[in-house]
Amino acid sequence: MDKDLAEQVADIAQRVVASGAISANGHGNVSVRVPGAEEMYFTAGPSLRGHLASAVVRVGLDGALIEGDLPPIQGAVVAMHTAMYQDHPDVGCVLHTHSPYATAYAVAQRRIGCWIEAMAMFGLADGVPVAGYGPRGSAEAVASIRSAVIPGVPAVLLANHGVLIFHRTPDLAIVAGSVVEEAAQAGLNSERLGGPVEIPPDLRAAALQRTMAFDSQGTVHA
Ligand SMILES: [Zn+2]
Rg (CA), the chain: 17
What CA–CA distance (Å, rounded) separates 36 from 178? 29
Whether the pLDDT of residue 208 is over 90: the answer is no
Against a cut of 0.85, is the pTM above it?
yes
Q: How far is the CA of 163 from the centre of ligand 1 (A)?
A: 8
Q: How far is the CA of 207 from the centre of ligand 1 (A)?
A: 32
Tell me the per-residue pLDDT of 130-186, one tens digit each, with 9 for 90 and over.
999 998 888 999 999 999 999 999 999 999 999 999 999 999 999 999 999 999 999
Which of 118, 14, 17, 100 minimizes the C-alpha distance to 56?
A: 14
Q: Give residue 214's pLDDT band: very low, low, confident or very high (50, 70, 90).
A: confident
Answer for the pair 163, 149: CB distance below 8 angstroms, yes or no: no
Q: How far is the CA of 161 from the centre of ligand 1 (A)?
A: 6
Tell me the per-residue pLDDT of 103-135, one tens digit each, with 9 for 90 and over.
999 999 999 999 999 999 999 999 999 999 998
More confident residue, 73 or 164: 164
pLDDT of residue 216: 87
Q: How far is the CA of 171 from the centre of ligand 1 (A)?
A: 21
Q: How far is the CA of 27 from the centre of ligand 1 (A)?
A: 7
Whether the pLDDT of residue 211 is over 90: the answer is no
pLDDT of residue 21: 96
Span 33-55, average pLDDT: 96
pLDDT of residue 66: 97
Q: How far is the CA of 136 from the centre of ligand 1 (A)?
A: 7
Q: How far is the CA of 44 from the centre of ligand 1 (A)?
A: 12
pLDDT of residue 207: 85
Q: How far is the CA of 29 from the centre of ligand 1 (A)?
A: 8
Mean pLDDT of the chain: 95
Answer for the pair 204, 114: CB distance below 8 angstroms, yes or no: yes
Q: How far is the CA of 28 from the centre of ligand 1 (A)?
A: 5
Q: How far is the CA of 76 from the centre of ligand 1 (A)?
A: 10
pLDDT of residue 73: 87
* Percent of the chain residues topping a pLDDT of 70: 100
Q: How far is the CA of 204 from the centre of ligand 1 (A)?
A: 30
